[in-house]
Amino acid sequence: MRHSVIGFFLSIFVTAQPGYHYQFPTDHFNHPDYQTEWWYYTGNLQDLSGHRYGFELTFFRQAIQLPKSAAVSTDPIWKPDEIYLAHLALTDVDGRTFYHTERLNRAGPGLAGVDGNAHKYWNGNWQVYWKNPGTSEQELEAVCDRFTLTLDLATLKPPVINGVDGVSQKGPDGGEASHYISFTRLSARGKLNGVAVSGQAWMDHEFFTQAPNPTLAGWDWFAIQLDNNEELMLYRLRNKTGEISPYSSGTYVNAKGEAHHLTADQITLTPGRPWHKYPVEWQISVPSLDLQFSEKPTLDNQELASESSPSPTYWEGAVTYSGTFHQKAIKGIGYLEMTGYGQPIRLGH
């Protein structure tokens, strides 16, 4: 397997290469040989009265290059060789409000981390615990000053490996890729501020080393759960020249859970109505599937932004889909993420 020399201090990390042999449940947890890793949870919920919500909970792990002197002199409990960032957001669809917060920690004495043996990852009192790694049943919990969310997640389909030959290629270089796993349909049941809620969730997990190509301006990522029990993941990479990268791609998952890779030339993503700098409405076409539909946000303002935060500003929120599939009407729900609209590219899908 090819290795890549990354960072000022020439530490060595493994890059994502074709032919990776996935092993579950081990690969659902930590990969310290890769520099960057994240776990993304998004979903659409409603309470017993039909009141609708969207949620996002994400965990990031980023390895930091340390000189040998720092590695020796630093207290091992507080050694800053990895940092952990987490984002939490709630869209009150019918209440027309959006709230988000974040936290940044070092591992320290258990403040944040990933523990494959304990089957969990966490940042403070935000965590996901895999109750049964064999069946992928998970328990999500997030507590902040505005709300408490607890969910039991059960997978309705097996994990999907996005891309080709074990990698999701993002550019022309050999290691310019990620190992990218998705659970495209999770049932979600739990409580939001003590009120029972239920719905559908989506989970993405990626690990990689090589930074995005410097020509990349940003990306637009769609998680689509159709009401015929099929799903699509689509992403469009935008170059600084305004052109769409040929390494844009997607995945179609049929009702049986079988995944099919989609190349850039099989997907048309056309931006529509803007909200500030973001195109919050889109037209989507996948001719090979005879699929045409439109996306609309449940709420325009679902931007995660903070003047005092080191995190990038981006838009990620609950959306709906409607259109035709094989000339029959189809609807769906999901999430949309848009990055790089006037902001530097750092973490994200």
Q: Residue 258: what residue type? A: E
């960032």: which residue's tokens? Answer: 85
- H helices of the chain, in order, are 68-73
With 0.75 as the threshold, say if the pTM is over it.
Answer: yes
pLDDT at position 314? 94
Give backbone dihedrals phi and psi of 18, rounded to 5 degrees, phi first: -60, 150
**The pair of three-digit structure tokens given for residue 197, joined into one six-digit string:** 């809620």
Domains of the chain: 3-338 (2.40.370.10)
Q: Over the stretch 9-47, which tens digit does the pLDDT of each residue have?
A: 334 799 999 999 999 999 999 999 999 999 999 999 999
- The residue with tokens 């750092």 is 346
Q: What is the pLDDT of residue 310?
A: 65
Asked if residue 249 lies in contact with residue 163, where contact means CB atoms within 8 angstroms, the answer is yes
Percent share of the chain, pLDDT over 70: 89
Other beta carbons less than 10 A from residue 109's beta carbon: 7
**10 Å Cβ neighbour count for 220?**
24
DSSP code of 81?
T
Q: Which residues of the chain have pLDDT under 50?
A: 1-11, 72-73, 344-348
> Which residue in this structure is represented by tokens 């997640």?
153
Q: CA-to-CA distance for 113 and 299, rounded, in angstroms?
A: 33
The 3-state secondary structure of 174-203, one letter per residue: CCCEEEEEEEEEEEEEEEECCEEEEEEEEE
For the chain, the farthest-separated pair of C-alpha atoms sits apart, in whole angstroms, at 66
CA–CA distance, 121 with 31 (Å, rounded to integer): 12
Look-up of token digits 């994240």: 38
Dihedral angle of Cα 325, 327, 333, 338, to the nearest 10 degrees: 70
Report the alpha-carbon distance of residue 141 to residue 191 in Å, rounded.
10
- Which tens digits make up the pLDDT trace of 310-348? 678 999 999 999 999 999 999 999 999 999 996 544 444
How far apart CA 61 and CA 74 sit, in angstroms, is: 20
Q: Which residues are within 8 A (CB) of 49 and not within 5 positions of it... i.e. 6 or more apart? A: none
Cβ contacts of residue 276 below 8 Å, gap of 6+? 303
First CA to last CA distance, the chain: 24
